[in-house]
Chain A
Amino acid sequence: MMDRSAFEDLYRENFSRVLAFALRRTARASADDVVATTFLIAWRRRNEIVGDPLPWLLGTARRVLANDFRTAKRLEALTRKMSIVEEASPQLGSEFEIGDSRIAKALASLHPRDRESLILTAWDELSPYEAARVVGCSSAAFRVRLHRARRRFTHALAEADADVHVCSSRGSLPAPEMKG
């Protein structure tokens, strides 16, 4: 059984990565809560953690985020992160927000699975093997998913760039558009 000392090491070594993971997906105040809940679950289930604990922790944080989307505050926070509607919001560009609205727009246009694959590897800096553990699929399946996601993102980004150029020539920003 993992003792208290070993768990404290695990906590110290992984805290910032788990917090960063949460901050990329929700507001600071909620992220702290997600991190605390994640480590509480990890403590209770510490005997199930084998090998590198990070993918296990991030997989748990992912579920905590999904399950705890009860308050409007939290939803609004994530909305701001991915929002293209709020392109002109002063929130964009502040700490822990996506600074490039075209990136945000391209991401928002993708299928959630593509978005998650890209973010896990590009922002959370996980290898395909680690990311596969987070989302609970095989490494091979994740590589295929990631490859396709990258292609779609490249295409979406090109479209987002083109939109801006077209609108710049008109002298105004594009009307916000939402894709389901």
Chain B
Amino acid sequence: MIMRMSDDRSAAARLGAANPVKPQTLARLDESRPQLSDVLARADIGEPEERSQRRAGRVSSARQRRNFALVTAALLAALAFIAAPGWGLGFSVADLFSGEPAPPDVQQTVHGADVGAPPGMAPGIEASETSKVTAITLADGRTETLWVAPTTSGGLCVYAQRGSLSGGPGCGPSKPPTDAVDWSIQGRAEYDNTFVIYGRVPDRATRVDLSFADGKSVPLTLTKGFFLYEIPPAHIELEARPFALTAYDDDRNEVANTTLMQAAVDAAFLDAQP
């Protein structure tokens, strides 16, 4: 196919016209600008004198950093609640909390999502009920654990814990998805370059396969409807990244097939080192 310069210009013009946030909408976006003090207060940071007045100097910088992560997690959790069409403790959910109870430090981290959340936005996590769903040994010998905790409003919080690197739980409906596989990729290239994918399958699924862009696939271990899997370095390569999750029932009928679009996976793996 021969491309001309006019084709380039035409394509550029069409790309510009497809901008999902047009420059002329910037002024309207500005109307939603919160007060800077509110933004800074979210993480309980401000100028030292303000901070000392507010907290009487009792919060260490480490605590501030933790609070920042926890508040962010709380906000995400609250947003997940808002987005949820409805929730309630289903029959199968009760079984989720029959696993090994979480140790105090994990409970504290889970509880932290409620601490410092803006008024009315705390998910109300029952941290003392936090239970282990599954755990895996990572390639470097560390352990990654998937914890779940109920909320007072019938929701469910999921916390993928890898030592002290993990931020906090994400919360949402307690019911499993019905026609899709929920998934998240956890990892930060600049910390340890270790990535896991975890999530949940529909109730009737008894098997889930993760397929990669290079055509390979691997069955994931399901525990109480959840999976947790370390993505091997070979599959951090662009051409071999996670591509889709397919869930099956006992008769190998497909229950759900969720394509992980590469544009989304790109963002999760930004700066990852294969």
Query: A residues bordering B, Cβ < 8 Å?
Result: 4, 7-8, 11-12, 15-17, 19-20, 23-25, 29-30, 32-33, 36-37, 39-40, 43-44, 62-63, 65-76, 78-79, 81-83, 85, 96-100, 103-104, 107-108, 111-112, 115, 118, 122-123, 125, 150-151, 153-155, 157-159, 178-180
Any A CB within 8 A of the CB of B20: yes
Residues of A within 8 A of B266 (CB): 112, 115
Across-interface contacts of A85 in B (CB, < 8 A)? 259, 261
Ranked 8 nearest A-B pairs via Cβ: A180-B213, A82-B263, A66-B270, A112-B266, A103-B18, A154-B11, A16-B26, A69-B268
Identity of the chain B residue whose Cβ is nearest the Cβ of A97 in the assembled complex: B20
User: In the complex where A73-B83, A179-B262 touch, is A100 in contact with B36 (Cβ < 8 A)?
Assistant: no
Instruction: Give the contact stretch, choosing among B73-81, B128-136, B143-151, B219-227.
Output: B73-81
Is residue B56 within 8 Å, beta carbon to beta carbon, of the partner chain? no
Q: Knowing A65-B267, A151-B3, A180-B238, say if A16 contacts B29 (CB, 8 Å).
A: yes
Asked whether B18 lies within 8 Å of A70 as measured between CB atoms, the reply is: no
Contacts of B240 in A (CB 8 A): 180
Q: How far is the CA of A8 from the CA of B38 in the complex (A)?
A: 12
Give Cα distance in the complex from A83 to B189, angstroms.
Answer: 25
Known contacts A23-B20, A82-B261; A180 and B239 CB within 8 A of each other = yes
Q: Is the CB of B185 within 8 A of A75?
A: yes
Q: Does the CB pair A118–B26 fall under 8 Å?
A: no
Residues of A within 8 A of B263 (CB): 78-79, 81-83, 107-108, 112, 115
Given contacts A43-B40, A151-B8, contact A69 B264 (CB under 8 A): yes
Quick one: closest B residue to A10, CB to CB?
Answer: B36
| B203 CB, nearest partner CB in chain A, Å | 17
**Which among A4, A12, A75 is the interface contact of B33 at CB below 8 angstroms?**
A12
Q: What's the minimum C-beta distance from B18 to chain A, rounded to whole angstroms?
A: 4
Q: Does any Cβ of A come within 8 Å of B243's Cβ?
A: yes
Among A32, A71, A99, A158, point to the contact of B20 (Cβ < 8 A).
Answer: A99
Are A150 and B12 also in contact (CB < 8 A) when A37-B72, A82-B263 are? yes
For the complex formed, measure the closest distance between the CB of A13 and the CB atoms of chain B, giving whole angstroms: 10
| B binding-site residues for A, Cβ under 8 Å | 1, 3, 7-8, 10-12, 14-21, 23, 25-27, 29-30, 32-34, 36, 39-40, 42-43, 45, 47, 68, 72, 75-76, 79-80, 82-83, 167, 170, 172, 182-186, 188-189, 199, 213-214, 238-241, 243, 259-264, 266-268, 270-271
B10 / chain A contacts, CB cutoff of 8 Å: 154
Q: Which one, A16, A71, A75, A157, contacts B11 given CB within 8 A?
A: A157
Option from A79, A111, A123 in Cβ contact (under 8 Å) with B16: A123
Contact at B11–A25, with CB atoms within 8 Å?
Answer: no
B35 to chain A, nearest CB (A): 9
19 A–B contacts from the bound complex (CB under 8 Å) = A15-B30, A15-B33, A20-B29, A23-B21, A24-B20, A33-B76, A69-B184, A70-B167, A71-B184, A76-B264, A78-B263, A78-B267, A79-B263, A112-B238, A123-B20, A150-B11, A155-B1, A179-B262, A180-B238
Write the chain A residue with the least CB distance to B82: A29
Contact B80 A125 (CB under 8 A): no
Given contacts A72-B182, A122-B19, A180-B243, contact A100 B39 (CB under 8 A): no
Q: Which residue of B lies closest to A95 (CB)?
A: B20
Q: What is the CA–CA distance of A178 and B67 in the complex, to the nearest angstrom?
A: 40
Q: For B36, give its contact among A11, A83, A98 (CB under 8 Å).
A: A11
Asked if A122 meets B33 with Cβ closer than 8 Å, knowing A72-B182, A79-B263, A96-B21, the reply is: no
* Contacts A78-B263, A79-B261, A112-B263; A33 near B19 (Cβ below 8 A): no
B7 engages A154 (CB within 8 Å): yes
Partner of A158, one of B3, B42, B239: B3
CA distance A85 to B38 in the complex (A): 39
Q: How far is the CA of A75 from the CA of B36 in the complex (A)?
A: 27
